[in-house]
Every structure is written in structure tokens, then in C-alpha cells.
Amino acid sequence: MSTTASRIDQISLVIVPSTDQDRSIEFYEKSLGFEKRTDIPFGGDYRWVEVYPPHGTTGIALAPPRPGEEVKPVETGIALTTDDIDATHAHLQSKGVDVDAEVSRMGDPVPPMFWFRDPDGHSLMVVQQA
């Protein structure tokens, strides 16, 4: 074990590329109930946008692609939590979100979960917290 600590003690943001930041903001706010906490211009024609779950301290930055790069749908590795997986799944379906057809139930120790896709096709997971 190292005697030198890295001093890293939390995750503040994860970055998800967005081809249309306004469309992404609308999706995260209206479909997921997130709140936009940052929306500022940077680097000329770019915007830095951050959205967060209402009680969350880790956010998602909806960033434009780098110049000359295309946004390709990816599995983000982002896992969001809920206290009622079935209600959350039904709610997202009712909002027209591209969600898995059913909640996956693999049994302990794996929590019930499902995947959904954002407007750029990026996959995020929702899991029921223990």
C-alpha cells in the first residue's frame, strides 16, 4: 500500500458529447428531471453546459464534439440510481425516452436495472439503489 495519497476524493463531472446542446438540455431537464447548473460560452463558438440530478453533486457535461470529430453513440458507463426502478422505467417510457423494453432482474447481488439512450444515442443505465 502506498504511503502517498492521491488527494482525489470525488468525481465531479463526466463528459458526454452532444451534437445539439439545446436538444440535450431539454432531454435531461424534461425527461430526466435534471437541472442545468452551468451554461457559459467558451472558446469562441462553444458552450460549456452542466446538468445534475436535483440532489446530485456529480454532473454530466454536455460538450460539443472536438472540431472535425463526429459524435458516435457510446455506452457511457454512467449509472444513475432510483429508489423505484419500475416507476422510473414507466415514467421514462411515458416521456418517449428510448428505454429497454423491460427492467432486467438478474438476482442478488445485481440490482434491478435498465438502459436508456439520450438524443445522440449514448447509453446510460438506471439501477435501483439498495
Task: Find out whether 80 and 53 touch, Cβ atoms under 8 Å.
Answer: yes
All structural domains of the chain, each given as residue ranges with its CATH number in brackets, are 13-128 (3.10.180.10)
Per-residue model confidence (pLDDT) at position 3: 59
Average pLDDT in the chain? 94
DSSP letters spanning 65-113: PPTTPPP---EEEEEEEES-HHHHHHHHHHTT-EE-SS-B---TTSPPE
Per-residue model confidence (pLDDT) at position 45: 83
Which residues of the chain register pLDDT less than 50? none
pLDDT in tens, 116-129: 999 999 999 999 99
| H-run or E-run covering 21 | helix 21-26
Per-residue model confidence (pLDDT) at position 102: 97
* DSSP state for residue 46 in the 8-state scheme: E
Per-residue model confidence (pLDDT) at position 60: 98
- Cα(28)–Cα(15) distance, rounded to whole angstroms? 14
